[in-house]
Structures are given as structure tokens and as C-alpha cells.
Chain A
Amino acid sequence: MSEMTYREALRSTLRREMQRDDSVVLLGEEIGVFEGSYKITSGLLAEFGETRVRDTPIAEEGFIGAGIGMAMLGMRPVVEVMTINFTLLAIDQIVNHAAKIYAMFGGQVAVPMVIRTPGGGGQQLAATHSQNLEVWYAHVPGLKVVAPSNPADAKALLTASIRDDDPVLFLENLALYNTKGEVPDGEQVGEIGKAAVAKPGTDVTVVSYSRATLIALEVARQFEKQGVSVEVVDLRSLRPLDRETVCASVRKTSRAVVLEDDWLTYGVGAELAATIQEGAFDYLDAPVRRVAAAEIPLPYAKPLENAALPTADDLTKVINEVLDATRFTG
């Protein structure tokens, strides 16, 4: 075990996979000379050279599509997109091509590529640079969408994503890059599509992913002091979705709250609420509640941004409402 940041877990994993496999090539804007907008690729140009760490022009559709073609010829491109908001410029390539080529051509060639990109708000970047659009991609068969919340999972899931033969959207978050955690040494290959019980509990289940999991864990610790045992399920993967782990938890606790950074309507929580009512209907003591972002293009001003994004206080309030509704007495 070593303690490291989420950023360092990503960087060291990229480095390790590039050392292991010559077909792993990085593409993206400002990833080489500038070492990445968020410095994830720091030092990699110097070590691997400009053919393996390739700076691209500002042309998301062009270079994400080029990654698809490289993957079709057997390479394993890892494409960095500066933020998930910019993937919209390439959505035809991601949805109509990366996600379709294996199935639509009868399984003849796979598209083993990774698109790494941070999402999320909270940095006063205003409406166009603060979105959580991962559910758009999680809706699409043929894609996989992973969203690790901690450095250990970042390592294990990035390794798995690079070695996976399908296109994987690897969701990061600006607020996670500096967070620290214990990371196992040596090779770690995660299993895509498996949720984790990040904190066991018996009274209420909180389901979340990516940055929101940190909030859920903090809230769970506060409730623990008051004698309420909160179980936190960290999805880690949005597609495939581990419905079993979510429903198993709710069958145990009988109460469920989803904490999500995306917008509420048609969001991740909507899918989870539907899953829980189907897989744990008779175990539920209260309706499934969702704590999600306010449905507004995110404003710049800090008080407005704070109000619009889901916080620990919002989650605490909703958990208390669920406990009250079920006359929870501890």
C-alpha cells in the first residue's frame, strides 16, 4: 500500500500500462508539452516521446474518431478530453461509431479505446464547463462508463479499461484529482461493472458514484455518531450497472437515497429508483429519494453554484426525512 492522490494513481497507471504494452498510445489536447490541463500526463512525454504521447489540435471529433480507427487496427489509444463538456463535439463518433462498430459489423473488429475525461461542477466554471453528462453515454449499449471515486479504484479501473476490448468512457472529476487514498502496490486489474459497498451499514442505503461518494461517506460518518448506520454503495460503473449490489443493500436497510451530481430528471437516480422498486419493492419502507443537481444551467456566482449542486447538507436533510417518514427510532 502507498498513499497517493487520485491524479498520481491515474498518472502511474498510464505509465505502467504504456511500459507494459507498446500499443497503448495517449492522444489529447495539451497532454504532451503542457503535460495535461490537469497534469495527469505529467512526465510521460519525456519518458515515452511524442509518438506515444501525442498532442492533438483542438478537434475533438477528429482525434476521438482517429482513436477509433487506431483501435480498429489493434492499438489501445487512451484519449484525454479536457472536460466531458467537450465530448459533445465528438458525440457522433462516440455514439454512432465507437459504440456501434463491434456489433453492427457482426463482431469482426473491436474498438479497445478509453476516453478519459473529467466532469462536474463546483469550480465556478459556469454553465458550459460544469456538467455531468455521463448518463448520456451510460444510456448507450456498446459503451462502458466507469466512474471511480478514490485513488485505488482509479488505478484498478483504469488498468481494466485500457485492457478491455470495448470503448470505455472513464469519468474523472476536477474535485477528485487532489484527494488522497491508500493504493495497493503492484498490478491491480479491477472488474468493470462491480459496485462496492464503500461503507457497510444497516439502516439506510446511499447510492452514489465519483465525487458524490466522498460526500456520502462524510455524511455517513456524521450519522454514525448519532447512532444511524448508513450503508454507502459506490457504483464505480454506470454501464454496466451492478443492480444486484444496490438491491442487496436496500433489501438489508429498507431505505434508499441516491446522491448524484447529474440533473435529476432522467438521471442516474431515476434508473436506480426504478431498479430498486423492481428488485426490492417489498423490502422498502419509504419511497426512494434522489438528491441531484438543480435543473438549471449552472451559474457562475458562488452562492448560486453552491445552492445548485448537491451537498452534504442536502443529503443529510433527505436522509433525515426518510428516517422520519419511517418513524426510525434508532
Chain B
Amino acid sequence: MSGSTGSPTTGRAAAAGGVTPETLKDYYAQMVLIRSFELRASEMYQRAKIGGYCHLNLGEEATVVGLMAALRPSDYLFTTYRDHGYALSRGLGAGRIMAELFGKATGVSGGRGGSMHLFDQKARMLGGYGIVGGQIPPATGAALALTYRGGPGPEAEAVMCLMGDGTTNIGAFHESLNLAALWHLPIVYVIINNQLGMGTPVEKAAAEPELYKRGCSYRMPGVRVHGGDVMAVREAAAAALDLARTQRQPSILEAMSYRLRGHSVVDPAKYRSQEDTQQARDEDPVPAFRAQLIESGVLDDDSATAIEADAERQVAAAVAFADESPDPEVADLFVHAYATPVAGTPHRLPGDPVISVPADDPGDVPDEGGRS
């Protein structure tokens, strides 16, 4: 990849080369698990088991699985609030993720974060972030920290920082890209371009709507990939991560994706045309990948159905685990208030006194007017 931009790639061809049937089945299983999980999460939201905001990866499954397939366990991931699928593919476990959505003590963030804030230090998934673009400066700093650990090379660690299309208009994006390019940081900025902010189209929000080009001010290469093609996403992400590892060249990867539902579970997406919605359904990556695998003989209808049934079982078990898990104890409200506890840290509930009055309180002693 040279120059400021690469050309868009579509990579069905990549699926043919050097990938085992087991790997392809695994990718399909992951995509189906995400699909099942998200549909169930939507249902659980309607049943008020899940509170707050809830953003789904429906339609984004191929992008999620392709990106996570390229990311090594030694790499770090920072992502957005649309994070359930990434957590699943990063191996956080459907039960612990659903438990977090339910606000349970067994959740990946102990019930402190909810849907938008999935985190697992051991898996090096350093957050879902609820503030648009908030993850970009810390992800950039994580990449800076890696430069103190060792030099570039094929085994070096790298950072992947995900964001949506709307995020590329935020100042933090541009400040961070400048730092990453200036300091040669091992990071890949992945833009999941589902073509809508909440309801605002990219063309109405970005003066350069070909988002992979937005690094040109920082001499940062960019590539656009078809986000509905899991193998193309994987190959493009692996190439970008390789640049980060071996040359400490940060880059942009833009995955053209599609949101099958509204911005969040409560958004009916009335701003979308009938044609738009129909096209999305026609290009739904999950049935498309299924058909592709059956056509190429990797799966048949029975084995595909078995994978789907297994995903349903996993999600049902996750819901049961979340349901049965305890709520966090109110007594533990302040347990993570500070990493270094110090005197005077207030652990008060609303209405508690701010300070205790000593027993030798003078009480109703009349004011003497001049206690000198």
C-alpha cells in the first residue's frame, strides 16, 4: 500500500485461496451467533430486561467477523457502543455479555457499563465507548504505549480502533490521526461506514464522503473494503495490521456496511426508503455467506441448519445465565470508585450526612455572641 490511498477492494476471490473449510464454517458460526444474539437482545429490550441504549450489529456481521479474524489475541481493540458482536467474536462469552446487558454482577463490566461499555482486559478488548469518538485518543495512546514495549516486527502488538462514519467529523479523530502519523504508531483506524449517522447520510455530514481518503492530510493510507464480504474484510484488516506491526504505519480501513435496523432498538428508521430497505435485505451478509458456502460445498443445508441451531442454543443459555445471575450488591456501589483509595473519599448515599458531628457537640448552648 503506497501513496495516500489505495483503491477499493472486493475480495470474494480471497475466500478461494488458502482457507480451510473449518475456518469458513467457524466464520459462518460466528456470524450466525451474532445474528441470533442481536435478535434476542432486541427482544429482551422490548421485554425491559435491558435498559438504556442498545445498538445492534445486525447487518454488520461479516465486517465484525472479518475484522476479529485478523486481530490477534496479543492485539488491542477499542470500539464503539455498537459492540456486542465484537465482544462475541473476541471471545468474551455470550453469557457474560448478555449478563452485562441485563446489568448483572456477572457481566463483563460487572454491570457497571451496560450494552455500550463491554470490556475485558484479558481479551484486550479495552472498551466499547458510549461517547462518539471518545475511544480514538485513548486507542492512539495505547498504540503509543506499545512503542515503549518493543520495536516493529511481524510479531509486534498493534491496536485496532473502530468507529462509525459519523465519527470522522469529530475533532478527536483528526487530532488522533495526526498524532499517530507523526509518531508512527502501530494502529489501524477502522471506519464502519453504514452510510448513516443516526439518520443523517454520510454525504450530508462529510465533505469528503469517501472516508478512507480522510487521512490524506496526515499522509495516512486508506483502503475501502466491501463490508459484506467476510474474507475481503479479513484480508484488508490483516494487511493494515501488518503495516502497523512491521512498519509502524498507521492506516485507515473503511468497511462499507449496512445497518439492517434503526440506529438503536428504539429507532423505527422511518427516514429510510422502501428501496433502500429492500436492497439491504437482498444483500444481507448472513444468508449470502450461507449460500456461498453451500454453493462451494463447505456446508450443506443440514450442516448450516445445525450451526444455526447451535447458535440459538448458545443464546438461550446466555439469556438463562443472565436471568439467573445476581444483581450487583448496593453495598458494592463504591467498590470501584478509585483505584487508589484515599482518606476523605466520600462513600455516601443520597441524604447521608457529609460529616459526623462529635459527641461533645455543644448542642443548644446559647450563643454568647463573642466566644473569644
The judgment on whether A and B are partners is yes
- Chain A residues close to B by CB (< 8 Å): 23, 25, 51, 56-57, 59, 61-75, 77, 92-93, 96-97, 101-112, 141-142, 144, 164-166, 191-194, 203, 237, 240-244, 247, 251, 254, 274-275, 278-283, 285, 326-330
User: Which of A51, A67, A192 is B148 in contact with, Cβ under 8 Å?
Assistant: A51
Q: Which residues of B contact A63 (CB under 8 A)?
A: 137, 175, 179
- A59–B357 contact, CB under 8 A? no
Q: Which residues of A contact B370 (CB under 8 A)?
A: 285, 326-329
- A70–B369 contact, CB under 8 A? no
- A282–B363 contact, CB under 8 A? yes
Q: Which of B7-15, B17-25, B37-45, B139-147 contacts A (4 or more CB under 8 A)?
A: B139-147
Q: What are 6 sample pairs from A and B whose C-beta atoms fall under 8 A apart?
A: A51-B147, A70-B144, A93-B138, A104-B112, A240-B342, A247-B355
CA distance A326 to B354 in the complex (A): 27
User: Which of A66, A164, A254, A328 is B138 in contact with, Cβ under 8 Å?
Assistant: A66
- B112–A166 contact, CB under 8 A? no
Given A141-B337, A251-B358, A327-B369, are A66 and B112 also a contact pair (CB < 8 Å)?
A: no
Known: A240-B342, A282-B365. 4 other contacts (CB 8 A): A66-B141, A106-B110, A275-B354, A282-B357
Q: How large is the interface on B (under 10, 10 to 19, 20 to 34, 35 or more residues)?
A: 35 or more
Q: Mark B358-371, 1 if CB is under 8 A from A, else 0.
A: 10011111011111
Whole-angstrom distance between the Cβ of A293 and the nearest chain B Cβ: 25
- B131–A203 contact, CB under 8 A? no
Given A191-B342, A193-B342, are A203 and B337 also a contact pair (CB < 8 Å)?
A: no
Q: Mark B110-121, 1 if CB is under 8 A from A, else 0.
A: 111100010111
User: Which of B175, B340, B354 is A278 in contact with, Cβ under 8 Å?
Assistant: B354
- A166–B357 contact, CB under 8 A? no
- Chain B residues close to A by CB (< 8 Å): 76, 78, 107-113, 117, 119-121, 126-127, 129, 131, 134, 136-148, 171-172, 175-176, 178-179, 182, 335-340, 342-346, 353-358, 361-365, 367-372
Whole-angstrom distance between the Cβ of B116 and the nearest chain A Cβ: 10
- A106–B144 contact, CB under 8 A? no
Q: Which residues of A contact B362 (CB under 8 A)?
A: 282-283
CA distance A106 to B336 in the complex (A): 7
Whole-angstrom distance between the Cβ of B321 and the nearest chain A Cβ: 17
- A62–B335 contact, CB under 8 A? no
User: Which of A106, A144, A203 is B342 in contact with, Cβ under 8 Å?
Assistant: A144
Whole-angstrom distance between the Cβ of A317 and the nearest chain B Cβ: 19
Given A72-B138, A74-B145, A104-B112, are A193 and B121 also a contact pair (CB < 8 Å)?
A: no
- A102–B336 contact, CB under 8 A? yes
CA distance A194 to B171 in the complex (A): 38
CA distance A326 to B368 in the complex (A): 9
- A62–B339 contact, CB under 8 A? no
- A165–B127 contact, CB under 8 A? no
- B344–A193 contact, CB under 8 A? yes
Given A62-B179, A68-B141, are A191 and B336 also a contact pair (CB < 8 Å)?
A: no
CA distance A70 to B117 in the complex (A): 19
Q: Which residues of A contact B336 (CB under 8 A)?
A: 102-103, 106-107
Closest to B183 in A: A54
Interface centre among B109, B141, B338 (most CB of A within 10 A): B141
Q: Which residues of A contact B107 (CB under 8 A)?
A: 106
- A97–B369 contact, CB under 8 A? no
- B361–A282 contact, CB under 8 A? yes
Q: Which residues of B contact A275 (CB under 8 A)?
A: 354-355
Q: Which residues of A contact B338 (CB under 8 A)?
A: 102, 142, 144, 165-166
Whole-angstrom distance between the Cβ of A186 and the nearest chain B Cβ: 22
Closest to A274 in B: B354
Closest to B108 in A: A106
- A73–B363 contact, CB under 8 A? no
User: Which of B134, B140, B344 is A96 in contact with, Cβ under 8 Å?
Assistant: B134
Whole-angstrom distance between the Cβ of A234 and the nearest chain B Cβ: 15
Closest 5 CB pairs of A and B: A65-B137, A69-B141, A62-B175, A106-B110, A66-B141
CA distance A287 to B28 in the complex (A): 72
- A103–B175 contact, CB under 8 A? no
Whole-angstrom distance between the Cβ of A198 and the nearest chain B Cβ: 18
- B146–A73 contact, CB under 8 A? yes
Closest to A242 in B: B344
Whole-angstrom distance between the Cβ of B350 and the nearest chain A Cβ: 13
- A328–B340 contact, CB under 8 A? no
Closest to B173 in A: A62
User: Which of B137, B357, B372 is A69 in contact with, Cβ under 8 Å?
Assistant: B137
Q: Which residues of A contact B140 (CB under 8 A)?
A: 62, 65-66, 69
- A330–B134 contact, CB under 8 A? no
- B343–A194 contact, CB under 8 A? yes
Q: Which residues of A contact B355 (CB under 8 A)?
A: 243-244, 247, 275, 278-279
Whole-angstrom distance between the Cβ of A88 and the nearest chain B Cβ: 13
- A69–B145 contact, CB under 8 A? yes
Whole-angstrom distance between the Cβ of A31 and the nearest chain B Cβ: 15
CA distance A112 to B78 in the complex (A): 19
Given A144-B342, A327-B370, are A61 and B145 also a contact pair (CB < 8 Å)?
A: no
Q: Which residues of A contact B353 (CB under 8 A)?
A: 278
Whole-angstrom distance between the Cβ of A228 and the nearest chain B Cβ: 9
- B339–A110 contact, CB under 8 A? yes
CA distance A61 to B143 in the complex (A): 16
User: Which of A61, A141, A241 is B171 in contact with, Cβ under 8 Å?
Assistant: A61
CA distance A281 to B356 in the complex (A): 12
